[in-house]
């Protein structure tokens, strides 16, 4: 199942779903983060808030891809329109470092995406 095959959740369903708040809040967080970055005020967001958001996003991604036995594009936008390669590598490096892992462990667990269209 590709990301285009994933079920779209109507607003009425989201309103009645206790986890629908994640969908509603994600866009608000995106807008606020972009605004802070553009204004040069990313430092006003606490390190703990960023770590919490990143950890939650990673855990949700893995739970969905492993639990639903499918994959989908892990990043917003196409190619580098929302995030650069530098940003990705910087974040990946720090995530690996946080767990005392290195590029070798990443290479061992690396899996190719099943869809070449990502």
- pLDDT computed for residue 1 by the predictor: 41
**What is the pTM for the complete model shown?**
0.77
Tokens of 100: 């005392």
Residue 21 CA to residue 18 CA, distance in Å, equals 6
- pLDDT computed for residue 110 by the predictor: 80
- pLDDT computed for residue 3 by the predictor: 44
Q: Where are the domains of the chain?
A: 8-44, 46-118
- pLDDT computed for residue 7 by the predictor: 57
Residue 116 CA to residue 60 CA, distance in Å, equals 23
- pLDDT computed for residue 114 by the predictor: 60
- pLDDT computed for residue 100 by the predictor: 96
- Are 17 and 86 in contact by the 8 Å Cβ rule? The answer is no
- pLDDT computed for residue 115 by the predictor: 59
- pLDDT computed for residue 80 by the predictor: 85
Residue 89 CA to residue 80 CA, distance in Å, equals 13
Count the helices and strands in the chain (H runs, E runs).
5, 0
- pLDDT computed for residue 107 by the predictor: 87
Tokens of 118: 């990502």
Per-residue pLDDT of the chain (118 residues; tens, 9 = 90+): 444 455 566 555 556 888 888 988 999 999 999 999 999 999 999 999 999 999 999 999 999 988 888 888 899 988 888 999 999 999 999 999 999 999 898 888 887 666 555 5
Nearest to 115 by CA among 65, 62, 61: 65
Task: Name residue, tokens 């891809």.
Answer: 65
Nearest to 1 by CA among 90, 92, 68: 68
């Amino acid at each position: 199942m590709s990301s285009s095959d994933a079920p779209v959740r109507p607003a009425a369903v989201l309103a009645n779903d206790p986890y629908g708040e994640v969908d509603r809040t994600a866009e608000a967080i995106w807008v606020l983060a972009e605004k802070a970055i553009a204004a040069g005020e990313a430092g006003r967001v606490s390190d703990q808030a960023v770590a919490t958001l990143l950890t939650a996003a990673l855990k949700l991604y893995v739970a969905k891809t492993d639990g639903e036995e499918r994959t989908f594009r892990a990043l917003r936008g196409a190619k580098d329109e929302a995030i650069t390669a530098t940003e990705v590598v910087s974040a990946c490096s720090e995530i690996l470092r946080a767990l005392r892992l290195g590029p070798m462990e990443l290479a061992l667990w690396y899996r190719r995406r099943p869809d070449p269209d990502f």
